Chain A
């Protein structure tokens, strides 16, 4: 049989419903593909047995004539999201043997929708990183060229979709961790509005910024996975009481008259020439579809990375205090007093970047520095948020920008300089600080054949405009049809 694992969801749906292939065959194809691409190191764990069991159950339902949009669709889950009975590590040694006794709400929702999870996807440890090089289980490689990073922190989630192992995966995005790897791997990724998706069962990094979202190879599939995970959850007090619209309804609608804001602070010399050229082309495509480009200003953009690297580490230092080697997770071996046991367990368990951020967090929260760093950053955060509110109130319906200032870089190129790595998230971070929905869609390739992403930023709760615009753009271009070459 041909490569059914890399079909779109609608083609999988048609194949399953018309009995062209069974769910078991589809899941086997997906598992085989994961195996043939094992060199990419996308997965921390492949749960073949559970997947085939679930596939058999789905086949029974299909035989009874049952159907649903995601029934029988293979998926992968970022390893920061708890899966009942399936090891969940956050790519950290401190959780290397952690088997959650419960499912995250998003996993429960996907399972109820009928999807079949084939495994847990590699990532930067505790979602801290922009290149997937911070994993305790080794870096993920970019399917377009394995010498390059897939982006991070959801690198495994993006690479698995780009390689055609499964059509959709879940990731999380705290400062760009869905959009930047989607850009680097040439696929679609959406971070919904903060509060749109439950964080229950998602291992916390920076709770005021973390949000779960989906990856896919086209806009329709991204809409389907997003649809399945949204909604208020009594187990997450920050999930919002808001009705979830039918995202697929807006696909294919006209974007005539839509005002597209181009922030002048995002089109600057720091942006790589090839990225800039691809972006300008994409904007003219949108214009050709009837959208109206308008220049806007987001004056506090330049402060966003600094704000993020105060607030996120501060929240992380608090969130990660729970890993003490006592109740769960790694405990250092040996007879130590309690305080030494904490320090030994944590130092053995956490990788360097995680320790670095915990220390930065402890520093900015400490007496004497709190006002100068933490409080100041919270104030600038509100200014960044206001910049977006102003733009949306008066000038534009959505914002278009590069997802990242550059195309994928080589593995090892930035790992020794944390600050250079942080600056890679300069265009994605403001969106998290303001809690807005943001999306990356493929918009071209560099001369070296590496993907470039177009970022769409929406008003709060307005994922529909992002889907509508992305769908219109996709129908006018063929970037989403490009695939990396042979399995490795």
Chain B
């Protein structure tokens, strides 16, 4: 069983702010989900490998490229030369979605007192 205290701790770890009025409901839901997934205890996994990825993941490496904004990297999808890579973005394009920015920087609250 997960207690309401643990749920509050969990919310803090996940950087979420729980509405105290909803904590009992959230705790109830988490307990029903965690209670359900505990059925895996009954599955015999002796010798079973932990599977993190379907096809076995390996690193895909390439040479670094220095590219100016607007230039196009030389990477083309296999068997589909009709779809050229997209041009590199400039800083302004990337900053357009920032909630607060100044010049070429994202503005954030005071971090170090």
Contact = CB atoms under 8 A, between A and B. Distances in A.
A337 B110 contact: yes
A380 B83 CA distance: 39
A435 B93 contact: no
Interface residues of A, number: 83
B1 to A, nearest CB: 12
B104 interface: no
Nearest to A334: B109
Contacts of B45: 376, 379-380, 383
Nearest to B12: A343
B33 A309 contact: yes
Contacts of B55: 194-195, 238, 240, 435, 460
Given A329-B99, A359-B10, A343 B51 contact: no
A103 B59 CA distance: 24
A483 interface: no
Interface size on B, as a range, is: 35 or more
B6 to A, nearest CB: 8
Contacts of A286: none
B97 A329 contact: yes
B11 interface: yes
A194 B108 CA distance: 38
A395 interface: no
Give the dominant DSSP class at A's interface.
helix
Contacts of A343: 12, 15-17
Contacts of A377: 37, 40
A238 B51 contact: no
Contacts of A359: 7, 10-11, 14, 16, 26, 30
A377 B33 CA distance: 14
A331 B77 contact: no
A426 to B, nearest CB: 12
Contact of B83 (A112, A305, A358): A112
A344 B17 contact: yes
B98 interface: yes
Contacts of A300: 43
Contacts of B43: 300, 303, 376, 380, 383
Contact of B96 (A101, A198, A381, A382): A101
Contact of B29 (A341, A364, A418): A418
Interface string B23-57: 00010011011101111110101001111111101
A302 B57 CA distance: 27
A328 to B, nearest CB: 4
Contacts of B82: 112
Contacts of A328: 97-99
Contacts of A243: 78-79
Contacts of A335: 109
A363 B34 CA distance: 9
Interface stretch (A120-128, A229-237, A255-263): A229-237
A346 B15 contact: yes
Given A234-B76, A335-B109, A419-B36, A194 B54 contact: yes
Interface stretch (A42-50, A319-327, A405-413): A319-327
A394 interface: no
16 contacts: A108-B83, A195-B55, A231-B77, A306-B40, A325-B99, A328-B97, A329-B99, A347-B18, A358-B16, A359-B11, A359-B26, A375-B50, A378-B52, A382-B49, A383-B48, A419-B33
Given A343-B12, A381-B51, A417-B32, 6 more contacts: A101-B97, A208-B53, A309-B37, A359-B30, A376-B45, A435-B55
